[in-house]
Amino acid sequence: MGELDRLAMYQQMVRIRQYESRIMQEYHADKSPAWDIGAGLIPGEMHLAAGQEPAAVGVCAHLKKGDAITAPHRPHHFALAHRVDMNKMTAEIYGRTTGLCKGKGGHMHLFDPENHFSCSGIIAQGLPVACGQAMAFQRKGTDHVAVAVTGEGAANQGAFHESLNLAAVWNLPVIFVIEDNDWAISVPKDASTAGASNADRAAGYGMPGVRVEDNDVEAVYEAAGAAIDRARAGDGPSLIEIHTLRLFGHFEGDAQAYRPELETVNERDPIPQYAAALQELGVLSEDQIASIQADADAEVDAAIEFAKSSPEPAPEDALLHVFA
Amino acid sequence: MSTATGTRRVTTAKAMAEGIGLEMQRDPNVFVMGEDVGAYGGIFGSTTDLFGEFGADRVIDTPISETGFIGAGIGAAVEGLRPVVELMFVDFYGVCMDQISNHMAKIHYESGGNVKVPMVLMTATGAGYSDAAQHSQSLWGTFAHLPGMKVVVPSNPYDAKGLMISAIQDDNPVLYMFHKGAQGLVWMEKNPRSIGEVPEESYTVPIGKAAVAREGTDVTIVTLSLSVQHSLDVAEELEGEGISVEIVDLRSLVPLDTETVLESVGKTGRVLVVDEDYKSFGLTGEIAAIIAENDPGMLKKPFRRVAMPDVPIPYARPLEYGVLPTRDKIKAAVKDLMA
Amino acid sequence: MANGATVGVIANPASSRDIRRIVARGPATTTNDKINSLARLMEGLAATGVKNVLSMSDAGGIAAGLAGIAAKASAMHWPNLDFVDQKITHSPDDTINAAKAMQDAGVDAIVVLGGDGTNRLLIGSTGSIPVASISTGTNNAYPRRDEPTVVGFAAGLLATGHIDSAACTYRAKTLTINAGDISLPALVDIAVVTGDRIASGAVWDADSLQEVFLCFAEPDAVGLSSIGGRLQPVSRRNPHGLRIRTDATSPRRVTVPIAPGLVRDLGITAVTALPPGETVAINADSGVISVDGERSLRFTADTPVTVTLQHDGPVVLDVPRAMHEAALPTTTTKGEDTHG
C-alpha cells in the first residue's frame, strides 16, 4: 500500500468540492428560463458528487498510470481524483471542441483514454466494461487493476450481479466500489434493496466485501489499498461499499422534497470533519486550509475560463466520429 | 471448375472458424469468447476446432451472462485487444442490448473519436427449423438502424471467411450475423450452396461492398444471407423460362453499398427485395427509399418485396413456412414483375 | 413460574465493515444470516414460555426482516414482538440507546447478536440484566459460538425463572483506558500500536503491536487475546487479567491467529498478571490505542495513558451452564418413556 499522504488527500477533496460547487453555480447562473434544463452555457442533466469525495480520493490514492476506472453518471470526483485533465473535462461539460470528447459526450459520457477513464450514464453498465479492461490487463500480464464504480441503487441491476460473477469466476483484477449515498434518486435503499449491505452480496460470489460505514477518507484509503493490493497480486476481485453522503440533489434542480434528513446533511460534510481531524493531528494549519482553498479556487476558475473561451463545435461536426 | 492451390470445399461454419483462426495466429490480441464456443465449437459451428488449436486461454467459454461478457469484450477492446464475442442467438439481444447499443456502438462517437472499440460480435440468425418466435429472428434491420456498429451478413462460405477476417481487422465494432441455415450444419437441412470453395490462406472480403451474385438483365433481386441461396436457386429455374435474374448480395448493411444496388436496378428496371427480417420499418423499405431518393423513374414496374410479415415467427412447420421468404414466393414475385 | 417474561434482542446491523474480510479472509455474516439467527432464537424463546420480545430497531433491514417473519403464520407461536421506539442515527448510539430502553422496560434478559465490538458497546448500559451473546462479527473472542436456538432456550429459561440466575451468570471483566479526559472500555483486549492511523479500525498489522492488555486469555481464541491464550491462559472468571509486551526482535516467539485466517509470529518480552482495580501506565509515549481490536484513539507524549482492569462488565449468561442447570432435575416422568 502506498504511503498515506494526508495533505494530498485533503487537497484533492477540497479541489473536487470546489469544482462541484462552482459547476453548480455556473450551471444555474444563466438558466433562463430557470426551469429550462436545456438552457444556459451548461445544458442538460447535471449530477454532482459533493459529499462523496472521500470515496474517490481514498480509492484513487492507490491507483497508478494505466489503471482503469469506469464511473457512473455522477463521475466528476472520480475523474478528477484519477488525473483527468480539469480543463478538458470542463470544456467537455461546456460542450466545446477542446473538451475531452470534442463536445460529443457531455458530463455523463467522459472518456479519457490516456488515463483509462470512462463513465456511462446507464447505471451498472460500466461494470462489465471494467471486467473487460481487467481481463485485458490480466492477459497482458500487467499488474494493473480496473475500478468499477457504481451507486447502491445500481447494485440491483443484473449487470452488477453478472459482473461480480464474471470477475470472481475469472479471478479478474477488479475492485467494485459502491457509493451508498442512501438514495437512488428519491428511493431509499431500504425500500429497494434486499439486504442492507452490498458487502454481503459479495460473499455470495466468494469475493471479500467490506462496508466502510463512515464517510472517512482514511477508512476508504485503507480498505481500498488492501483490495487493490490484493487485485495487483493476482488474488482477484473485491467489493467495497462506502456509506457516503449526497450533499446536493440527484441532479441540479432536484428540490429533494422526499428527503427527511436534508437539514442534517451539512453537519455530515466529510471535508470540514477531515480538516478538523488533521488540525488535531497537527498536520494542517489554518494558513494551509486557506492556501489549499485558494489554489483550488484558482484552478477551477481557470478551467471554467478555459472552457468558456473555447470554441463551440460546428453543427456539421455531428456527423464525424461515427466510425474510426 | 478447376481448384486452385489451397482451395477446397468447406461449410460456412468452418470458413468462419478458419477466418478467426488465421487472425488468432497472426495477432495474439485476438481471442474468442461466448457461450459454448470452447470444446463444443460454437452451437452453430462458428468456432469449430479453435479450442483444440488455441486452448482455453484464447477460446473462452463464458457464463450465461450476455451483458457481462459482451461488456467485457468492450472493455478488452478499449484496452487494445481484439475480442471476437459470440451472442449465441441474435434473439437474446434483449438481455444485453444496452452493452451493444449504448456502449459498444456509442463509445467511439461519444469519445469524440478518441476511443476505439475493435471487436466483433458474431451472432446466429434465421428461421426454418421450427425454433419458433424467440430463436428464429433475423433482426439485422434493428441493428443496422442503430448508429455506430458495422453490420455484415454473409451468405456463403467464401464471404463468411473473408468478411470475418475483415471484421476482426476493422477498428470498429462489427456485428457479424450468420444464418443458421447457411452454416452447412450436419444437423439442419441445408442448401448445397452452404458448402463451397474456400481458399486455405487468408484473404479479406471488404465490408461495405455488395456482390453481384449472379448477373442478369430482366429483374434485380436485392437480398442477403440465406435468401441469396434461395434466390440463386430461383434464378436458375427461371433461366429455363427465359427470365434473366440479377442477384445483388448485400453482404454488409452498414455501410450499405447503395451504388451496386442502384447500378443493378438501373440496368434491369425491376426490383424485388427479399428479406427474412420483419417487413415494416426495415431493410426492404430502406432499399425502396434509396431508389426513390435517387430516381423513382428508374423502375419500369412498381417496387416489390418478399419479407417476413409483421408477426412473431410461429412454430408449426406450415405456419413457419407460411411466413418465410421461400423459393416459391420469390419465384412468384419475380414472375409477377415480368408479367 | 413467572409469566409475562420479556427478553430484549439487540442485533447490530453494521457488524460488517471489517477490513479483515480482505486482508485475512475474515468471515462474513450477512444481514439475512442475522435475521435467520434471530428467527431461530425466537423458536428457543417461544419454547420456554417467554411472552414478549423487545427488539432493537434499525435501518439496516434486520428489524424489518424479523418483523416480516413474525407476521407469517408459521411464527404465530412466537412471543409477542415489539420494537424499541428509537431514532436511528446509523451510529453505535443505536445499540446503546436500544440497551437503555430495554433496561427502562425492565426486560428479564437480553440477547445480543454481534461480535466483540457490539458487545463492547453494551458496557454500562445493561445494568444487572443478564446478557447472552450470539457471535456474528468478524473477529470474536467475547461471544461464544452457541447456536441461537439454544441461546433462546437458555435466555428463556432464565427469564421465566426456570433456572437460578446465580448458578449460571457471572460479571464480565472490563479494561478501561484513560487518556486525558477520554475513557474507553473494552471487554477483551486493549492494545497499543505504533503509528497515528485509525482509518478502517481493525488491528491486523502484527508489526505495529507494542503492548496488549487482556481481560481473559483462552487458548482456543482468535484475535489479540490468543497471544495470552498461548502464553498464559486466564479464564473469564479468574479475578486477574494479563499484560503482554511485544517486540519484533525478541527471541521469545509465539505463533498465533491475530485475526481469522491471519497467523503471525510475534516476539514477546514480558507476560505479567494484571490485578483488578490497579491502574497501570502503558509503556509507549505515542501511538494508537485499540479497544477490542478496533483502533480508536491516538495519543501523544502530552497525555498520560493508563489501563485498569475491573469486574464491572455486563452480567453474562453462561449458556452451557444454564443448559446444564436446566437438565439436572429430570422432567421425564417414570413410565412415560415413549422410546421403550
- pLDDT tens-digit readout, B169-211: 999 999 999 999 999 999 998 899 999 999 999 999 999 999 9
Which domains does chain A show, CATH number per domain?
6-308 (3.40.50.970)
At A324 the pLDDT is 96
* Average model confidence (pLDDT) across chain A: 95
A110 or A281: which leads in pLDDT: A110
ipTM entry = 0.94
Please enumerate in sequence order all residues whose Cβ is within 8 A of that of B154, keeping only pairs 6 or more positions apart, or say none. B12, B16, B160, B163, B164, B176, B178, B182, B205, B225, B251
Contact between C82 and C52 under an 8 Å Cβ cutoff? The reply is: yes
At C334 the pLDDT is 44
- State yes or no: pLDDT of B90 exceeds 70: yes
At C330 the pLDDT is 54
Q: How confident is the model at residue B1 (pLDDT cuts 50, 70, 90)?
A: very low
- State yes or no: pLDDT of C339 exceeds 70: no
Q: How confident is the model at residue A1 (pLDDT cuts 50, 70, 90)?
A: very low
Look at B78 and A132 and tell me if their CB atoms are within 8 Å: yes
Task: Cis check for the bond before B255: say yes or no (omega within 30 of 0).
Answer: yes
- The pLDDT tens digits for C36-87 are 999 999 999 999 999 999 999 988 789 989 999 999 989 999 999 999 999 9
If you average pLDDT over residues B318-338, what whole number do you get? 98
Q: Note which residues in 27-66 of chain B have CB less than 8 A from chain A.
A: 31, 62-63, 65
Ramachandran region, residue C261 (left: φ > 0; alpha: ψ -120 to 50; beta: rest): left
Amino acid letter at B208? G
Q: E-assigned strands of chain A?
A: 68-71, 111-112, 117-119, 146-151, 174-180, 183-184, 187-188, 209-212, 238-243
- State yes or no: pLDDT of A2 exceeds 60: no
- Tell me which chain A residues have a C-beta less than 8 angstroms from the C-beta of B171: 324
If you average pLDDT over residues C204-214, what whole number do you get? 88
Which domains does chain C show, CATH number per domain?
6-171+313-327 (3.40.50.10330), 174-310 (2.60.200)
Dihedral sign, Cα of residue B10, residue B13, residue B16, residue B21? negative
CB atoms within 10 A of CB A1: 12
Look at B68 and A128 and tell me if their CB atoms are within 8 Å: yes
Contact between B41 and B32 under an 8 Å Cβ cutoff? The reply is: no
At A3 the pLDDT is 67
| B311 to chain A, closest Cα gap in Å | 29
| A31 to chain C, closest Cα gap in Å | 38
* Average model confidence (pLDDT) across chain C: 89
Which DSSP string corresponds to C210-231?
A: EEEEES-B-TT--STHHHHHHH
Query: B135, B145, B179, B230: which one is catalytic?
Result: B135
Rounded Cα distance between B272 and C93, Å, is 77
- The pLDDT tens digits for C76-117 are 999 999 999 999 887 889 999 999 999 999 999 999 998 888
- State yes or no: pLDDT of C335 exceeds 50: no
Rounded Cα distance between B28 and A211, Å, is 40
Report the half-sphere exposure of B81 (CA within 13 A, side-chain side). Answer: 27
Chains C and B touch (3+ CB pairs under 8 A): no
Cα–Cα distances in angstroms (integers) from residue B22 to residues A271, B54, C180, in the given order: 56, 11, 75
Minimum mean pLDDT range among A174-188, A213-227, B26-40, C186-200? C186-200
Contact between B221 and B246 under an 8 Å Cβ cutoff? The reply is: yes
DSSP secondary structure code for residue A224 in this structure: H
Q: How confident is the model at residue C332 (pLDDT cuts 50, 70, 90)?
A: very low
At C340 the pLDDT is 34
At A308 the pLDDT is 98
Query: A169 to chain B: nearest residue by CA?
Result: B63
Look at A212 and C32 and tell me if their CB atoms are within 8 Å: no
- Tell me which chain A residues have a C-beta less than 8 angstroms from the C-beta of B108: 321-324
- The verdict on whether B179 is a catalytic residue reads no
- State yes or no: pLDDT of B294 exceeds 80: yes
- The pLDDT tens digits for C139-165 are 688 998 899 999 999 999 999 999 999
Chain C contact present for A191, CB below 8 A: no
Cα–Cα distances in angstroms (integers) from residue C251 to residues B287, B309, C150, C267, in the given order: 87, 86, 45, 6
Query: A210 to chain C: nearest residue by CA?
Result: C17
What is the four-CA torsion angle of A250, A255, A258, A262, rounded to 10 degrees? 90
At C295 the pLDDT is 86
At C328 the pLDDT is 67
- Tell me which chain B residues have a C-beta less than 8 angstroms from the C-beta of A163: 68, 71
| A25 to chain B, closest Cα gap in Å | 26
Q: Which of C23, C62, C201 sits opposite A226 (nearest CB)?
A: C23
Q: How confident is the model at residue C15 (pLDDT cuts 50, 70, 90)?
A: low
Which domains does chain B show, CATH number per domain?
9-199 (3.40.50.970), 211-338 (3.40.50.920)
Q: Note which residues in 204-243 of chain A have CB less than 8 A from chain C.
A: 208-213, 216, 218-219, 221-223, 226-227, 230, 238, 243
Look at C199 and A222 and tell me if their CB atoms are within 8 Å: yes
Mutate to test the interface with A, among B57, B109, B145, B152 (most CBs of A within 10 A): B109
If you average pLDDT over residues A224-246, what whole number do you get? 96
- The pLDDT tens digits for A16-63 are 999 999 999 999 999 989 889 999 999 999 999 999 999 999 999 999
| Strands B7-11, B195-199: pairing kind | antiparallel
Amino acid letter at A134? A
If you average pLDDT over residues B205-219, what whole number do you get? 98
- The pLDDT tens digits for A78-93 are 999 999 999 999 999 9
Rounded Cα distance between C39 and C251, Å, is 50
At B2 the pLDDT is 45
At B109 the pLDDT is 98
Look at C28 and A190 and tell me if their CB atoms are within 8 Å: no
| Length of chain A as a residue count | 324
If you average pLDDT over residues A4-9, what whole number do you get? 92
Q: Which of C19, C31, C298 sits opposite A196 (nearest CB)?
A: C31
Q: What is the percent of chain A with per-residue pLDDT over 90, rounded to a whole number?
A: 89
Total H helices, total E strands in chain C: 9, 18
